[in-house]
Chain A
Amino acid sequence: MAGLANVIYSTFIRKNTVLLTTAFAGAFAFELAFDITSNKVWDSWNQGRQWKDIKHRYMVKEEEDEE
């Protein structure tokens, strides 16, 4: 346990620049993951109700009309 704490300390915390860089990189990754996850949740929650889900029903008809 103490060995792991020492490794983490000397890798990320010992230098303030490294700590800050890690924090900002983590913020970037967190935001990306959060956005993707929330979009997936939204899409699964509204399954079959969004335009991209029902688009094929109407777009095919329009193409047939044009032909």
Chain B
Amino acid sequence: MSLSSASSTLLRTVARQQLPTSRAAVTSCQRRGVADAKSSFESPFASANESGSTLKIPNFSKYKSNSSPRSNQVFSYFMAGSLGLASAVGAKATVQDFLVNMSASADVLAQAKVEIALGAIPEGKNVIIKWRGKPVFIRHRTQSEIDEARGSKWEGLRDPQPDEDRVQRPEWLVMLGVCTHLGCVPIGEAGDYGGWFCPCHGSHYDISGRIRKGPAPLNLEVPTYSFPEDETLVIG
């Protein structure tokens, strides 16, 4: 019992004395562990240990151009300009294709013209022909009618227009036979002014096709026409 108590006392003493030393050993071990981790751990990224490596510049001299900076500049500007040239050609071709696609084809244009032999129309007579589905009045005017059309004062009319602007040759008056009011076909050689009269709502046109009286707002429309020969008229 005494021995056992003595041994137990000794053991306790040893344990008490060991405790501080073991603590110190553990703390020193921990300290060393931290320090070892810092030195032995290799980061995949550049760590403090390799801080000098980011300042190391690779050697690019293999890729360096041998020519002068100005000729390199000229080359890159030339490439940019060539791209602009190609784009301009492509854009123009695209726009032109669309516009050509929208315009009338040759067969439609050929059908859109009407040719009239003027020798068959005596002086002082009206002829009505069909052009693009609409009637066209052709009047071979007499000299007195021309004088009347040119002599009247046109400045005060509803749609002021001189006779010279409405005819290419004074003896031939060519215009669309559609009333500008609601689209009826006026009657020739009728009305208060010796020209045309629309029976639908009573519009009076003079011998130059200008509106004089009634509800119509504008003069009778003049189509594009030409005289390719002396006795030939082409409308359209």
Of all chain B residues, the one with the shortest Cβ separation from A22 is B81
Interface residues of A (CB under 8 A from B): 1-2, 4-6, 8-9, 12-13, 19-20, 22-24, 26-27, 30-31, 34
Residue of B nearest to A24 (CB): B88
- Which one, B73, B74, B88, contacts A27 given CB within 8 A? B88
Q: Which residue of A lies closest to B74 (CB)?
A: A5
Nearest CB in chain B: distance from A21 CB, A: 11
The residue of chain B having its C-beta at the shortest distance from the C-beta of A25 within the complex is B85
Q: Which B49-77 residues have C-beta < 8 A from chain A?
A: 67-68, 70-71, 73-74, 77
Interface positions, chain B 75-109, Cβ under 8 Å from A, are 77, 81, 84-86, 88-89, 92-93
What are 24 A-B interface contacts by the 8 Å CB criterion? A1-B67, A2-B67, A2-B70, A2-B71, A4-B71, A5-B68, A5-B73, A9-B73, A13-B74, A13-B77, A20-B84, A23-B88, A24-B85, A26-B81, A27-B84, A27-B86, A27-B88, A27-B89, A27-B92, A30-B85, A31-B89, A31-B92, A31-B93, A34-B89
Which of the residues A5, A20, A30 comes within 8 Å of B70, measured between beta carbons?
Answer: A5
Q: Chain B interface (Cβ within 8 Å of chain A)? A: 67-68, 70-71, 73-74, 77, 81, 84-86, 88-89, 92-93
Nearest CB to that of A23 among chain B residues?
A: B84
Report whether over half of chain B's contact residues are helix, strand or loop; otherwise say mixed: helix
Knowing A13-B77, A19-B77 touch, does A1 contact B71 (C-beta < 8 A)? Answer: yes
A-B interface, 6 closest residue pairs, ranked by CB to CB distance from nearest: A5-B71, A27-B88, A23-B84, A2-B68, A13-B77, A5-B74
Q: How far is the CA of A5 from the CA of B75 in the complex (A)?
A: 9
Q: How long is the Cα–Cα vector from A53 to B71 in the complex, in angstroms?
A: 50
